A and B are shown apart, each in its own frame.
Chain A
Amino acid sequence: MPTKNTSPAVRPTERGRTAGGGPRERSRHGAARRRGRSERFAPYVLVAPAVLIIVALRLYPLALGVNFSFTGDGEANGTPVGLANYLELLDDPLFQTALANVGLLVLLLPVAVAIPGLLATFIFLKVPGHRIFRSVYFFPAVLSPVIVGAIFNLMLAFDGPLNEVLGTIGLGPVDWLGDPGVAKFAVVGVQIWATFGMALVVFLAGFATLDASLLDAARVDGASLRQSIWHVIIPSLSQTIQFVFVTTMIGMLTSMFGLLYVMTSGGPEGSTYLPEYYIWIQQGQMNRPALASAASTVLFLIMLVVGLLQISVLRRAGRED
């Protein structure tokens, strides 16, 4: 690097090369120096647009939102109110339901991970038709939650096809989306239906790194399928399993909005609220941006805990190896 310029100006123009005048020798030297400078700043120029956008539209809003959450809404707009928004959240039955539903999702998480894991195992073991199964199972994962929700609106309607089928085998109609005790399970079921293919593909990528000779050895030793899964597959895939746990949890916390919006609108009786839907309603419908920001911050803390849990689990697994 020819120059030791500490000027922060990131402006790699070609002007230097076209600028004429001056003795030839100096001009060439100057051009080389300018080119050198331009080259030195090149990495910054290349990352600048991406960094600017990420800082301005992701990191800055995050800070802004946390700040919002300690100010008031409406009349009190902009004035600091301390923890008032958080206290209001804790008192709001809708937000309580949203948090309780997060708890329900956490409880259902093992099911949402085990189903694709088991299916991936069978596909890996090449059951007849495994290629077709893989393609079919993965497809709903690329569909928009809006489309999935609209399709299941149709299927699960009170006078819809599913109830008609249940009727023919003598089971009474179930109000899938209208009964507060049923609707949340219906929505979570649809979410699992729509996303298990994603986890399946991730599991299969994990299987691709699995040492096949281990499985062969287990089989030669006369291990049953269950023993092979328990003693060979699960330990070898612990990294993948943890990855699926975390991504499925994040997916449940942040990608169910479309389903809720189309299938239940948070109802019946607010029973299918999740934090993300609560944020949307407070911001868009109730004009309570500060309260919504407080809910956002709570959601962020939940995600942070999930992320930190992942790191600690990964660390522990790393030590065991």
Chain B
Amino acid sequence: MRRLGKWVVAVPMAILALATIYPLIFTANVAMKTRREYVLDRFSLTDSLHWDNIATAWNSVGMARYFANSLFVVAASVFLLLWLGSMAGFALSRLPFRGSKALFIGCLAALFIPFQVIMVPLSRVMADTGLIDTYPGLILAYVAQFLPFTVFLMTSYYRSVPREIVDAARIDGNTVYGVYRRIMVPIGRPALLSVGILDALFCWNDVLIALLMMPSADHRTLMVGVTSLRGQYTDNIPTFASGVLIAAVPVLLVYLFLQRQIADGVTAGSTKG
């Protein structure tokens, strides 16, 4: 490309970048305005930061409670996903056993079952076992939903670990479990980080599974809480925007610091699939 050509392309791309980021900036700006300010002029930069909208959303709307619910559910789900996923990935990639290939293919097949297809029977199973509307139930639903993906990526990653490392550790007298704990977990750290962030984002961002598994109001996760804002604050846009902002900021922070790991996780599937 000629140099001029590059600039001809760069200008529309910059406009698109602005269009991509502007709705977020707009929302953050609105969250800092008073209602009066918003009604008078939506676009102007707020003259001072009105944190009381955030405080209202955090306290009286109950975002604090939803936030804590989400944090707990996501942490527990991600922990279980990484633990079970790395164990299975280790066995499927580095331990020869009868049926391992079939299990891996079954896992791949499960990857292509979208939640929408199984949500009706799954909620019945959860109701029958008394797990509906409980934290263990929601955590289990998330683990089941994202486990095939986690197992798949951990298996692919562990396939790149030389067999000699496993064999050497076995000769040193480690049991299989010892190899898992002392070798595979530390060696798998980059993959665990990448997959863990993605799993955390999936769980944090989900609304359908949470709506279905946690019907009662005080069990709401943050995203379900955001959907309930819409009905309550249609005439108070700054408070509404504040709630949205509270839900978006953790993701923004994760993105700023761990963008590369997220991209690695997303593309790991594409290059191997």
Contacts and interface: CB of A to CB of B under 8 A. Distances in A.
Nearest to B252: A139
B270 to A, nearest CB: 5
A284 B106 contact: no
A46 interface: yes
A284 B24 CA distance: 32
Interface string B88-100: 1011100111001
Contact of B113 (A47, A58, A197, A275): A58
A271 interface: no
A204 B92 CA distance: 30
B125 A280 contact: no
A102 interface: no
Interface in B150-178: 151, 175-177
Nearest to A65: B121
A202 B266 contact: yes
B91 A150 contact: no
Interface stretch (B49-57, B136-144, B185-193): B136-144
Given A50-B151, A59-B110, A143-B248, A35 B263 contact: no
B84 interface: yes
Given A65-B120, A254-B116, A127 B9 contact: yes
Interface string A138-170: 111011111100111111000011001000000
B1 A58 contact: no
Given A147-B247, A153-B230, A49 B87 contact: yes
A39 B176 contact: yes
Nearest to B180: A46
A142 B251 contact: yes
Interface in B231-273: 237, 240-241, 243-244, 247-248, 251-252, 254-255, 259, 262-263, 266-267, 270-271, 273
Contact of B13 (A129, A135, A202): A129
B10 A129 contact: yes
B118 A61 contact: yes
User: For chain B, what secondary structure do more than half of its interface residues adopt (helix, strand, loop), or is it mixed?
Assistant: helix
Size bracket of the B interface: 35 or more
A182 interface: no
Given A58-B118, A151-B24, A129 B14 contact: yes
A257 B24 CA distance: 21
B22 to A, nearest CB: 9
Contacts, number: 274
Interface of A: 35, 38-39, 42-44, 46-47, 49-51, 53-54, 56-62, 64-65, 68, 119, 122, 125-129, 132-133, 135-140, 142-147, 150-155, 160-161, 164, 193, 197-198, 201-202, 204-206, 209, 225, 240, 243-244, 247, 250, 253-254, 257-258, 261-262, 275-276, 279-280, 283-284, 289, 292-293, 296-297, 299-300, 303, 307
Given A144-B247, A299-B116, 10 more contacts: A50-B107, A53-B143, A54-B144, A56-B125, A57-B122, A58-B148, A119-B16, A146-B227, A151-B26, A307-B112
Interface of B: 1, 5-7, 9-10, 13-14, 16-17, 20-21, 23-24, 26-27, 30, 42-43, 84-85, 87-88, 90-92, 95-97, 100, 103, 106-107, 110, 112-125, 140-141, 143-145, 147-148, 151, 175-177, 180, 201, 204-208, 211-212, 223, 226-227, 229-230, 237, 240-241, 243-244, 247-248, 251-252, 254-255, 259, 262-263, 266-267, 270-271, 273
